[in-house]
Amino acid sequence: MKFGIIQFPGSNCDQDAYHALANVLGQPTRYVWHKDSTIGDVDCVVVPGGFSYGDYLRTGAIARFSPAMKAVAAHAQAGGLVIGICNGFQILCEAHLLPGALIRNKGLKFICEHVELRVASTNSPFTNACQLGQMLRVPIAHGEGCYFAEPSVIKQLQDEDRILVRYVNNPNGSVDNIAGVCNEGRNVFGLMPHPERASEAILGSEDGRLIFESLLHTNIHA
């Protein structure tokens, strides 16, 4: 599977994602600069973590207008795979590719620690290598990771089985313990925890590999 990783001014997990995909999983991977108007021949786009444009306006609010994000939106609309991690999740919400918003953590502090996630659905290209209810140990690093959406949106996410991972001990106040959700087409996924930082045992956990390995199990030509 061919991966493209978007790079914004302020991205800081782009190289982590590249290492996990190219070096650990051995997949063709390249960077896509934020000013590029095309993403090229890629199967899955990764919108990585970081502080795009310094988060000067609002997390993800400026990045959503980048030329590359227009190409990402077109890729998603055509059924292409997109995964947004941390700041990438925030950008996907700002770009309305995913519902809801990410707001300040309930404690108003930046949190950097390993957390436990429970797989809430395996019916997606991003979790099909997991077991329903499986526990994953994955790190978080964010100050605005509290997922919020109106009750009607949360109900729709629940009814449509679009909440893919939940926190076990909710660290940031996210509604319904939500750590990651997908779109209606199930081809766009955003999550606050960092699977690329849990791709090798030497990092303290390799549970995050299951997210990327799920993508490799997906028939992109179906």
Q: What is the pLDDT of residues 89-144, one digit of tens each?
A: 999 999 999 999 999 999 999 999 999 999 999 999 999 999 999 999 999 999 99
- Selecting among 44, 86, 146, 182, the annotated active-site residue is 86
What's the confidence (pLDDT) of residue 220? 64
Per residue in 44-78, pLDDT tens?
Answer: 999 999 999 888 878 899 999 999 999 999 999 99
CB within 8 Å of 156: residues ≥ 6 apart = 99, 162
Residue written as tokens 């179906």? 222
Query: Do the domain assignments include residue 153?
Result: yes
What's the confidence (pLDDT) of residue 55? 84
194 is catalytic: yes
- Which range of residues forms the domain containing residue 66? 3-216
Q: Tell me: pLDDT of 222 over 50.
A: no
Q: How many domains does the structure of the chain reveal?
A: 1
Query: Do the domain assignments include residue 221?
Result: no
Per residue in 9-51, pLDDT tens?
Answer: 999 999 999 999 999 999 999 999 999 999 999 999 999 999 9
Chain centroid, CA 39 distance in Å? 18
- Selecting among 34, 75, 142, 194, the annotated active-site residue is 194
What's the confidence (pLDDT) of residue 93? 98
Query: Do the domain assignments include residue 222?
Result: no
86 is catalytic: yes
Query: Do the domain assignments include residue 179?
Result: yes
- By three-state DSSP, how is residue 87 classified? helix
What's the confidence (pLDDT) of residue 42? 97
Query: Do the domain assignments include residue 98?
Result: yes
Q: What is the CATH number of the domain that holds 89?
A: 3.40.50.880
Provide the whole-model pTM.
Answer: 0.96
| Six token digits for residue 72 | 């990402």
| Helical H segments across 67-190, by residue range | 67-77, 87-94, 151-159
Query: Do the domain assignments include residue 208?
Result: yes
Query: Do the domain assignments include residue 163?
Result: yes
Query: Do the domain assignments include residue 69?
Result: yes
Share of the chain above pLDDT 70, in %: 99
Q: Tell me: pLDDT of 199 over 90.
A: yes
Phi and psi at residue 208, to the nearest 5° = -65, -20
